[in-house]
Structures are given as C-alpha cells and as structure tokens.
Amino acid sequence: MSQLINLTEENICNEHICCAISDKKCAKGYELKKEWLKTQFEKGYRFQKVDVRGKVFIEYIPIEESWLPFDGQNFMVINCFWVSGQFKGQGYGKQLLEQCFKDAVAMDGVIAITGDKKRGFMSDPTFFKHMGFEIIDEAPPFFKLWGIRFNQNADYPKFKETARKGSCSNTEGITAYYSDTCPFTDYYIGQELQKYAKKTNTPIQIIKIDSKEKGHQMPIPWIISSIFYKGELITLEMKPEKHLDKLIGTSHS
C-alpha cells in the first residue's frame, strides 16, 4: 500500500493538488482551487492523494455541506475521484475509496455521481459497480447516482427536484456554469469560452457557482463545469473549440 497524504489547511501550501500541476495557463485556477479547499476543510472536506506526482486522488464531504444538489442526510459525498494514466491498475482506486469508507464509518454510507458511461471529468461507473455500489437515482440527460449503505435501514439520498430538469432556462446561445472546484475551469470556462463566443458571434451567459446555495439550484446534478446550447446540455468538457465546433458549429455558420 502506498502512503496517502491528507491535505489540510496547514500543509496545502506545500502540497500539490494533482490537477494542472504544471499547466501555466491554469495557474490562476490552480490557486483558486486551493483557496476554495481552505474554505471547505473546516466543514469536513477531505482531499486524499497518493504520494506520487500525478492525478491519483479522491475528494469527499458530508452531504450536509456538499455543494451538489442532493436531498438526504448522514452520507458521505464523493466529489472528484481520479486515477490517471500510468497509475491505473495498481490498486490505488480501491485504496483511496477504502480511506473514504474509513472516514465515513460513522455515517450511513457513501454516494457518488457518474454518467451513463465513462465521460470526461466524471468517474467511471463500472468501478463503483465493481466496488459494490448500486444505482439509487437518475437525472436527465445521463446522470446516475450511486450509493453504498453501511446502515441498511437508512434512506438513500436523492437528487433535488431542481436538478432533474436536464436543461437550462436560457435558450439563447451558450449558457455555461462553472465553479472553482476544479483548477481547469477558470481558464477554459471563465476565459477561453468567452473568446470562443466572441469569435463565433454566439450569445453567451456564464454563471459561476460560488456558494452551496447556488450549487443546489443547478438544473443538473453537476457543479464543476457544464455547457448548454439553446437550453440543452451539450458537454461537460472544458476545451471549447475542440468540442463546440463539432457540437454547435453548423448552428452559428
């Protein structure tokens, strides 16, 4: 078993947070993520990482403090969970999840969101199924809520009704939501998406999720980043030109 490092307000200045370690474009977002983490530690937020220089980490928080739109209590919510590249297949995912279970031992269980398949910036649903989780709720267009109970008499959490819309109210051009929960979002959503919209002459509205209350009002159960076009969700990816030219290119030509 490899050593796990638990980030805290005391050591976060000297420890990396895995994503965007050396990406100069995302330097501001990297620091914004660290600042966001500092505000969440006192609320029970955990960031556990394997002691390697790479994306091998898990983040989780009690549901009562989660920014994700859930109804429920006494469950631990997995936010971001990533084992990348050369580190796959070495048992790190199981090790990180078991640490989450240990930190949630006094709770009724653990929940996590995935897509209907492996999607960018989302955990792989096959891993949760393999680890004994079951699908406990669904929301349009493809979101799945997975859960595992330690207390079999407990009620599973559910998505808030507001998060079951699957579409947003703005039907003009692009609507994008993002938060500082990921170091890539400030650059790709907060900056580059604006440039894309200007270049393509596409109307745009960008909404930053900067509080738990705003997260709970999301039309989908996701707060890292999401892009809608004419009200419909088109991608959770963050590199606009790579994805949007294909998804909406014919619409603004």
Q: Tell me: the pLDDT tens digits for 142-172?
A: 999 999 999 999 999 999 999 999 999 999 9
Q: Which CATH number fits domain 163-251: 3.40.30.10, 1.10.357.10, 3.30.420.40, 3.30.1360.120?
A: 3.40.30.10
Where along the chain do the CATH 3.40.30.10 domains lie?
Answer: 163-251
Give the contacts of 94 (CB within 8 A, at least 6 positions apart): 131
Using the predicted structure, report yes or no on whether residue 34 has a pLDDT greater than 50.
yes
198-237 confidence digits (pLDDT tens)? 999 999 999 999 999 999 999 999 999 999 999 999 999 8
Provide the token pair at 197.
Answer: 């919209």
- As a whole number, the mean pLDDT across the chain is 94
Across 21-44, average pLDDT: 95
Using the predicted structure, report yes or no on whether residue 249 has a pLDDT greater than 70.
no
48-65 confidence digits (pLDDT tens)? 999 988 899 999 999 999
- How many CA atoms are closer than 13 Å to the CA of 134, on its beta-carbon side? 7
Taking alpha carbons only, the member of 4, 8, 66 closest to residue 34 is: 8
Q: Which CATH number fits domain 4-162: 3.40.630.30, 3.30.70.2190, 3.40.50.720, 3.90.1150.10?
A: 3.40.630.30
Taking alpha carbons only, the member of 38, 37, 117, 107 closest to residue 79 is: 37
Amino acid at 232: E
127-140 confidence digits (pLDDT tens)? 999 999 999 999 99
DSSP 25: G
- pLDDT computed for residue 44 by the predictor: 98
